[in-house]
Each structure stands twice: as C-alpha cells, then as structure tokens.
C-alpha cells in the first residue's frame, strides 16, 4: 500500500491543519513556520508520515497500540459489528458485545472485580470511579467521605474531576478552582528519594506508603473516600512501586475503610506483562480503571472494574448509580476489544513481554555510558530515561535548559531520527518508551541507537 501523498495533497493537508485543527496539549504557534507532523498509516510496530517516511512507534501511539498497527482482523471485527448494530446505549439496555466483554474482563481481573462499568475514555473511567466512591459511601451511611488521595506529578486525566485527582500543578492552574477533595501524597520516585530513606528501596516504600496513612489522618479518616494509584506511575518518567509498597497501602486502606483504586489506563493489557498491573505486583484493588490498550486503539473504550461489595448497595430496591455517558461501551468498541484480546491470546503477547522485558531493560541500560543519562527505570515494556546535567550529583536542568533541551531540540530530533517517543518535563526531564507488545530485540536496538545519537548531540548543546 502506498503511503506517499502528492505535493499538492501534502500542501492542502498542511493548510487545512493549520487553519482548522487544534492539537491537544500542543503549542500551536510552533507550527506557524513548521509543518504539522501528519501520520497517515501504520503497520506492525511502525507508522508512516505523508512523505512515506517510516517511524518506530516507541510510544504505542500514546500507550495504546499494544498489538501494533494495521491488524485487519481487528478492523474487520469492528466493521462487521457496525453493520449488525453500530450503536446502542448502555442506558437501560445491554447488547451481547458488552455482556461478553464484561464477562471476559471479569474473568481476567484479580479477585472479585466482577462488575464492569464502561466509559469511552480513561478520564471518564477515573471520574466514574470517584463518583462511584462518593455515591457508595453515601449509600452505606458514610456521607462525609469524598476526598481522594493521589500522588505528586501523577496524571489521571483532564476532565475537571479527573484533573482534581491529577497531581500536575502546571496543567491544573488555569482551571482552578477544581472540584474539592484532591489531596497529594508522595510518589515512588526512588531516584529522587528523600535522603533519610535514599539508602534502601524497601524503606523508601514503607515511608511512601505511610505518607498515605499520615495524609488520611491529617485530612480526617472519615473524610477520605479513595486512593488513586497507578501500578507504575507514568508521569515523571515511570516510577515502579518499591517492594512491599502496595501491600502496605492495601493494609492502610483496609484500616481506614478507604477504597484502593488502581488506575491502569496505561498499565493494564500487557504493558507490564500481565492483563492488569495489580496482578504483577500482587495487590488487590477495589476498583481498576482502564482504557487505551483494551482495544489497542482500533476503537475508543474505557471503563472501571468494580469489586462485588461496591455493587451491593446498588443491587436492590431503587438504588441507581446516577452516572452514564452516551458512547460508553458501544457494540463496535466492545467487538473490537474482543478481537484485540483474541490477538493477545493467539500470539501470547503477555508471554512476549515477559520473555523480552529483561532484554529491553538491558538494551536501554547500555545508554548509561552517556553523561546525560541519569536513570533508566520501569518494568515490562514501559520505561523512562531521566536526563541529568551531572550524573554524580543528579543535578537536573533549570527551566531554561529544559526548554531548550526538550522543546527546542530533543522532541524534534527524535522524531526526525525516526523514533516516536516522548520527551517530557512535567517532572524532571525524561524520555519515555512504551512500544507495542509485539516488539523484540530489533526494535530495542533501534530505540537504543536513535537515543544514543540524539542524546549525544543533545549533550553538546547544553
């Protein structure tokens, strides 16, 4: 299949994009004198722009394309379903695709997370979990519980409720005041651990978990509804949990009757080599939120998986969870998710991640010989590389250097070199990698080579 557009087509696309399209979280002014990057096709682990140039999709789009691009069997499942029944709401009605998918997800989820409430995105999933927690506690006679704890720099979505849970001050400030009740606790960035626990990761984990208990007590134990945590925190550059962290958090939640919500919008569906990140780290959430990889992006879908006890107040009498969205769990999205999961099973993608993750880590760790590479961290197929000005002292870049390095050079240079990944400075400056689960050593090498040459050049520009 040709991916090349003619000169006229390219010029027309650029003109229309610049005039009419508004890209998300994007400085539109930067395209006044530059082309908007336009991706026209994907195949396997690679995507192609309108000139026919190939890129390794080192971010799975945006932590989404687990099975890679161009899978006709998944596309056809969506097309077949659109012909039979494209849309019907999950308001009062059900359809076989949502029923089958709910059953399949419940069978995979840890413990008794047997009830699936679909949404169309991750933000909606997170916001639904907060709303459920609030209505649940009112229903069981604990109406003062409404606060939610989450970690510094963590991203949990952008709708106002989800944004109140998000821990990134920079993207919240323009929208203040946000819904009341969002409270921050420390994240699990061991590389930047406070001195008194920096010598031992387990001790650091105990401290970070106990900070959740201290926050509950500070806020008033009867006022806290839930703690929202990702298995591996994305924002800030992939912070895996220290050993024992989640087990201790679970105990704390049980002690104070607080719900543990595992936000797995990124970490579910194979990103960490398991269907759910909570399974990898051996903890039992009360709610799991998911989106992205459930369909690998072939259709939009999100949702939350809910423990049986949270459903109880809603399963008798007049009780109704007063929440819903039109495009939640459409027949097409659910059919696509089923086909996506078929690919997972047929090709043993979880097995592929587990078999190759050590090689992925080892390949990225080769970059430690570069002076700019301070820390390589992550698990599964999910890695962050933190860049520093001084390896010994771990000194980071000031705002001006960060601006010049990330926005002025790295993002464009990595893209020009044919690698889609993410250079992010919402915490300390990091490059993030989250490739399709179908990748292997060839792609790991490609990532390492591009990063080596671009980071070497970056160092000369500081």
Region binding ligand PLP by CB under 6 A among candidate stretches 149-157, 361-369, 408-416, 442-450? 149-157
Contact residue for ligand PLP among 57, 201, 211, 263 (CB under 6 A): 263
Residues 264 to 283 in contact with ligand PLP, rule: CB under 6 A: 265-266
**155 contacts ligand PLP (rule: CB under 6 A):** yes
Angle at 136 (CA atoms; ends 131, 141), nearest 5 degrees: 135
Please say which residue, 285 or 374, places its beta carbon nearer to ligand PLP: 285
Report yes or no: 301 and 90 within 8 Å, Cβ to Cβ: no
Contact residue for ligand PLP among 50, 65, 128, 234 (CB under 6 A): 234
**230 contacts ligand PLP (rule: CB under 6 A):** yes
Give the Cα separation of 157 and 265 in Å (integer). 10
78-111 burial code (b ≥16 CB/10 A, e <16): beebbeeeeeeebeeeebebbeebbeebeebbbe
Closest to 165 in 3D by CA, of 230, 237, 68: 230
**242 contacts ligand PLP (rule: CB under 6 A):** no
CB of residue 126 to ligand PLP, shortest distance in Å = 5
Q: Kind and range of the H or E element at 401?
A: helix 399-402
Please say which residue, 64 or 225, places its beta carbon nearer to ligand PLP: 64
Site string for ligand PLP, 118-147 (x = CB under 6 A): ---xxx--x---------------------
CB of residue 355 to ligand PLP, shortest distance in Å = 26
Q: Which pair of tokens denotes residue 30?
A: 């930067």
Site string for ligand PLP, 293-332 (x = CB under 6 A): ---------x------------------------------
Q: Which pair of tokens denotes residue 270?
A: 């194979």
CB of residue 289 to ligand PLP, shortest distance in Å = 7
Please say which residue, 122 or 303, places its beta carbon nearer to ligand PLP: 122
3-class secondary structure per residue, 59-96: CHHHHCCCCCECCHHHHHHHHHHHHHHCCCCCCCCCCH
Distance of CA 393 to CAs 143, 283, 375, 390, 400, Å? 48, 35, 12, 6, 19
Report yes or no: 63 and 234 within 8 Å, Cβ to Cβ: yes
Contact residue for ligand PLP among 224, 249, 272, 291 (CB under 6 A): 291
CB of residue 69 to ligand PLP, shortest distance in Å = 19
Number of residues assigned to the chain: 462
Please say which residue, 123 or 340, places its beta carbon nearer to ligand PLP: 123
CB of residue 299 to ligand PLP, shortest distance in Å = 13
Closest to 402 in 3D by CA, of 368, 364, 376, 372: 372
Please say which residue, 161 or 374, places its beta carbon nearer to ligand PLP: 161
Q: Where are the beta strands (DSSP E) in 210-296?
A: 224-229, 259-263, 287-290
φ, ψ dihedrals at 337, nearest 5°: -60, -40
Region binding ligand PLP by CB under 6 A among candidate stretches 87-95, 152-160, 306-314, 354-362? 152-160
Contact residue for ligand PLP among 157, 270, 374, 429 (CB under 6 A): 157
Please say which residue, 238 or 387, places its beta carbon nearer to ligand PLP: 238
Q: Which residue is nearest to ligand PLP (CB)?
A: 122
Q: Which pair of tokens denotes residue 265?
A: 């919008």
CB of residue 229 to ligand PLP, shortest distance in Å = 10
Report yes or no: 130 and 147 within 8 Å, Cβ to Cβ: no
CB of residue 280 to ligand PLP, shortest distance in Å = 15
CB of residue 458 to ligand PLP, shortest distance in Å = 25
| Binding stretches for ligand PLP (CB under 6 A) | 121-123, 126, 155-157, 230, 234, 263, 265-266, 291, 302
């Amino acid at each position: 299949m040709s991916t090349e557009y003619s000169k006229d087509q390219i010029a027309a696309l650029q003109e229309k994009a610049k005039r009419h399209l508004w890209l998300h979280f994007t400085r539109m002014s930067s395209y006044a004198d530059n082309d908007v990057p336009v991706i026209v096709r994907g195949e396997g682990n690679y995507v192609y722009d309108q000139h026919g140039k190939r890129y390794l999709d080192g971010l799975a789009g945006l932590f989404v394309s687990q099975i890679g691009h161009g899978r006709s069997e998944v596309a056809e499942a969506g097309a077949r379903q659109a012909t039979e029944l494209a849309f019907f709401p999950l308001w009062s009605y059900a359809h076989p695709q949502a029923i089958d998918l709910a059953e399949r997800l419940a069978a995979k989820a840890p413990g008794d997370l047997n009830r699936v409430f679909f949404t169309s995105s991750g933000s909606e999933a997170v916001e639904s979990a907060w709303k459920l927690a609030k209505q649940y506690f009112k229903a069981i006679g604990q109406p003062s519980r409404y606060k939610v704890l989450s970690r510094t720099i963590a991203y949990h979505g952008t709708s106002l409720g989800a944004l109140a849970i998000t821990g990134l001050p920079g993207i919240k400030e323009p929208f203040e005041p946000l819904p009341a009740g969002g409270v921050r606790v420390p994240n699990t960035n061991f590389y930047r651990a406070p001195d008194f626990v920096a010598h031992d990761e387990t001790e650091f984990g105990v401290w970070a978990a106990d900070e959740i208990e201290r926050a509950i007590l500070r806020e008033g134990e009867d006022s806290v509804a839930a703690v929202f945590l990702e298995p591996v925190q994305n924002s800030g550059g992939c912070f895996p949990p220290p050993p024992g962290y989640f087990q201790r958090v679970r105990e704390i939640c049980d002690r104070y009757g607080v719900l543990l919500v595992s936000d797995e919008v990124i970490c579910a569906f194979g990103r960490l080599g398991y269907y759910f990140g909570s399974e990898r780290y051996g903890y039992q959430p009360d709610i799991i939120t998911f989106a992205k990889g459930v369909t690998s992006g072939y259709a939009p879908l999100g949702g939350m998986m809910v423990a049986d006890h949270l459903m109880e107040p809603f399963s008798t009498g007049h009780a109704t969870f007063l929440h819903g969205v039109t495009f939640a769990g459409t027949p097409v999205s659910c059919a696509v998710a089923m086909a996506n999961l078929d690919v997972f099973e047929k090709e043993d993608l979880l097995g592929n991640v587990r078999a190759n993750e050590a090689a992925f880590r080892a390949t990225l760790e080769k970059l430690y010989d570069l002076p700019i590479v301070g820390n390589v961290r992550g698990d599964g197929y999910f890695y962050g590389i933190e860049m520093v000005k001084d390896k010994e002292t771990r000194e980071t870049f000031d705002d001006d250097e960060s601006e010049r390095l990330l926005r002025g050079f790295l993002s464009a240079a990595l893209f020009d070199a044919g690698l889609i990944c993410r250079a992010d400075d919402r915490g300390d400056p990091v490059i993030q990698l989250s490739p399709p689960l179908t990748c292997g050593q060839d792609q790991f090498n490609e990532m390492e080579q591009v990063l080596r040459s671009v980071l070497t050049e970056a160092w000369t520009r500081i």
